[in-house]
Structure 1
Amino acid sequence: MGRRKIDIAEVKDPNDRQVTFSKRRTGLFKKANDLSVKCGAELAIVMFSPAKRPYSFGHPSVNVVADKFLRKNPTSNYVRENDAPDDEVDDIERLRQQLSVVEVHINEEQKKATELDEREKEQETSEAQNKELQNSPVLRRMVEDYVDAIEVSECMLLLAKEPVIGISNRPICKRRRRN
């Protein structure tokens, strides 16, 4: 079925409005980060939630971009690519790419760490259950019964191979009845 066009209007329910704000804010900040990393753009985003809480994102920082925008401090500490020599621009781009790679590795390692934590918790719970079972008198009695049954089976097998002295090992034959 594809995407449908929706009308842009204010969300009426306050809970739905807060959820929509949170999701859209996260997406907007991700897009801004991509833009700053891929294009080297200096940007700042300042917004207030429906609950009047402030949220901001900036690259290199909100203050640097705001100062530059308001012309309080037209030359920021951030190296502008237009003013930098070509070799510095290449270095900046190379460092940005390295930063992106490192961020990806950090995210992957964090995912691995959470998976390992979950596995460790599962293992701890299973070890605790194993200890409970080992100390269980019911389980201990069941194991003893199985050991006794195995010993009896071994004795029966030995008797089948070597009969007791005085008992013949000949097969029992059925006699025919005469009518």
Structure 2
Amino acid sequence: MKKMSNESNLQVTLSRRRSRLLLKASELCTLCDAQISLVVFSPSEKVFSFGNPNIDTVIDRYLSRVPSQKSDIMEFIEARRKANVCEINTQLTQINKTLDIVKKLGDELSHLRKDFETRFGWTFSIDKMNWAQLEMFKKALEDPRNLVAQHAINLVIQYTHTQTLPFCVDSISPSNIPFQHQLIPQQGQMFPPQYYQKHLLHP
């Protein structure tokens, strides 16, 4: 290898190659966890250096062939730092997964709420209700359920009285009751209490 005679070209080439050389050394340290020291002298005797973990540690290691106490401490600190980074990355990954699950559940709840509002015409938010509004909302949900249960019991009594019951009394559910809107007397007005005890039906 011959030194360039043109000083201008020499300086430009040095600057360009020095940057690439330092970049390659940094990449080797990152990818291979290597300990590297690099010293570059310019034509004007200006010194450029690079070292990982630092240039003095690497030079002392090869000059004395005995690892210094400072180097051991630095290695311990570096190992601890890497362990902490690995643990933090694991926690971050788990948190991101949890956030994705929570976001998905939130989207599903939002979809269900919109569907509920579309069906029943309620366009208010439960989170913004006060205590009185929540009580009214609870009653509005319970009243239809109680009416359906009362109507089902009345139908059972009616079919039992006429002995034309088309289904089993023990399997009463909204899916197997022929729901019909009709005026049916209250249970206490139709039969005495002994009748309900006999048939395991309580008013």
If the TM-score is normalised by the length of the shorter chain, which range does it land in?
0.3 to 0.5
The normalised TM-score by structure 1 is 0.44
Tell me which of the two structures has the higher relative contact order, counting C-alpha pairs closer than 8 angstroms and 6 or more residues apart. 1
Instruction: Name whichever structure is richer in helix by fraction.
Output: 2
**Over alpha carbons, which structure has the higher Rg?**
2
TM-score, with length taken from structure 2: 0.40
